Amino acid sequence: MLKIYNSLAREKQDFVPINPGSVRMYVCGMTVYDYCHLGHARVLVVFDMVQRWLRAIGLEVCYVRNITDIDDKIIKRASENNERISELTARFIRFMDEDAAALGVEKPDHEPKATEHVPQMLELIRQLEHNGLAYQAAAGDVNFSVRKFPGYGRLSGKSLDDLRAGERVDVDASKEDPLDFVLWKHAREGEPCWASPWGEGRPGWHIECSAMSSHLLGPHFDIHGGGQDLQFPHHENEIAQSEGAHGKRFVNYWMHNGFVRIDDEKMSKSLGNFFTIRQILRNYDAEVLRFFILRAHYRSPLNYSDTHLDDARQALSRLYTALKSAPSSAAAVDWDEPHAMRFAEAMNDDFNTPEACAVLFDLAAELNRSKSTALAGQLRGLGALLGLLGREPQAFLQATPASGGEMSAASIELLINERMTAKKRKDFAAADRIRAELLSAGVVLEDGAQGTNWRRA
């Protein structure tokens, strides 16, 4: 039985799909005006893992991850770059796709774009107005009236009065309540806009997700995910909009992944302390980054540093090294085998990937002892469920970092042959000199029965 920590209930709950055997899941994706950073990498990888596991336990999954391609920051960036918004967003969607693919993230079933769902948003706003939850303010914006929606603050655990107390933002005088949020922004000079019953304008940020999720998954679906920072106000507002418009429950399980941190501080655009995915991938294998993310629990904070990635690389090397000792292919997992059972138990416990990884290491140790092809198959099969261990061991162990500057495989082989010759005539001094030379170039040699293997340190 799968258990999921539901942010709304603040506890782990048995997962019961609305329709037996199938799951509908929506995750807030990226706003595409810049490169994806490590925080985005975490959302991508975490929910990819969730999606894979849901399928692994036999559920039919419809996974939607949206793309926000119209908003203040996009407009600002496009004007700074002096380019069209559609060019800017198309470029960063492409970069996002490249990064996601590198990280082994499978394509969601749908990736709706905000600009392609304006009619659905307008319909939602119309419904909200009809239900007395939306009003057009003097300035022309259409706002959501939070005071009229009972239960506002349930997800974030805040009462309206608590929220008032912490107000740090200039109050917009045209709002009925300072916490009311914008559904439709009236058009401004030089900004893109759409026609609407409330005049020309463009959608507020929160309405996008409500419109796209209900359009593709219906008004009531199983899982809604995203980064912890979206819990308030974004997800809170989504609930208010969707339930306010449809008059029924919106989402059964809310999942929020923890932040990536740098030096114990949240990594974010506003703090400017972020690393982009492609920056990291210049020096580290993408699978190492994926493993680094999955070896922590998705709800825990994840501190990033080069040292931690080095550590993750060493650990992943151990798994691939074990795999090298027995031929294997990613066969179907034998779920009656003890390791697989432990793995499933861990994953069913709110996606406990650190525990699942520990099982992989136990399996590797066992494999190193037994050289069992069956165990190698299990290791590959279980790894595949996390999107790991899909490559040939040599390919991983000998991979060259994207930044280059490494000794080529051909030169390495040449030196290894030279060393072989030296070894044959018992000239160990010469052999060791070559080995030391390779080591200083970041290449480690392993002499075995069938000759010498090498890998990058």
Partner RNA sequence: GGCGCGAUAGCAAAGCGGUUAUGCACCGGAUUGCAAAUCCGUGUAGGUGGGUUCGACUCCCGCUCGCGCCUCCA
Smallest separation, CB 330 to RNA (Å): 21
The Cα 390–Cα 449 span in angstroms is 26
The Cα 92–Cα 34 span in angstroms is 6
Smallest separation, CB 369 to RNA (Å): 5
Per DSSP, 177 falls in state S
The Cα 242–Cα 125 span in angstroms is 10
Nearer to RNA, 17 or 239 (CB): 239
Nearer to RNA, 17 or 145 (CB): 145
Smallest separation, CB 60 to RNA (Å): 25
Nearer to RNA, 137 or 315 (CB): 315
The Cα 42–Cα 55 span in angstroms is 20
Work out the angle at residue 103's Cα, subtended by the Cα atoms of residues 258 and 353, and round it to the nearest 5 degrees. 45
Smallest separation, CB 126 to RNA (Å): 23
Nearer to RNA, 318 or 391 (CB): 318
User: Residue 424 contacts by C-beta under 8 Å, 6 or more apart in sequence?
Assistant: none
Q: In the chain, what are the helix, strand and coil shares in percent, each to the nearest 5?
A: 45, 20, 35
Nearer to RNA, 70 or 125 (CB): 70
Smallest separation, CB 31 to RNA (Å): 5
Classify 397 as helix, strand or coil: helix
Q: Quick check: 439 and 457 in contact, CB under 8 A?
A: yes
The Cα 99–Cα 43 span in angstroms is 12
257: left (phi over 0), alpha (psi -120 to 50) or beta: beta
Q: Quick check: 296 and 354 in contact, CB under 8 A?
A: yes
Smallest separation, CB 359 to RNA (Å): 8
Smallest separation, CB 20 to RNA (Å): 27
- Estimate the crossing angle of helix 409-424 against helix 428-440, to 10 degrees: 160
Smallest separation, CB 457 to RNA (Å): 9
Nearer to RNA, 31 or 196 (CB): 31
Phi first, then psi: give them for residue 173, nearest 5 degrees: -65, -20
The Cα 186–Cα 140 span in angstroms is 5
Smallest separation, CB 314 to RNA (Å): 4
Smallest separation, CB 388 to RNA (Å): 13
Smallest separation, CB 429 to RNA (Å): 7
Which long-range contacts does 296-299 make (Cβ < 8 Å, 24+ apart)?
A: 296/353, 296/354, 297/258, 297/351, 297/352, 297/353, 297/354, 298/42, 298/46, 298/49, 298/50, 298/255, 298/257, 298/258, 298/351, 298/353, 299/5, 299/256, 299/257, 299/258, 299/350
Nearer to RNA, 17 or 201 (CB): 201
Nearer to RNA, 39 or 108 (CB): 39
Nearer to RNA, 124 or 302 (CB): 302
Buried b / exposed e across 192-226, counting CB within 10 Å, b at 16+?
A: bebebebeebbbbbbbbbbbbbbbbbebbbbbbbb
Nearer to RNA, 42 or 246 (CB): 42
The Cα 28–Cα 229 span in angstroms is 11
Number of alpha helices (DSSP H) and beta strands (DSSP E) in the chain: 16, 15
Nearer to RNA, 17 or 158 (CB): 158
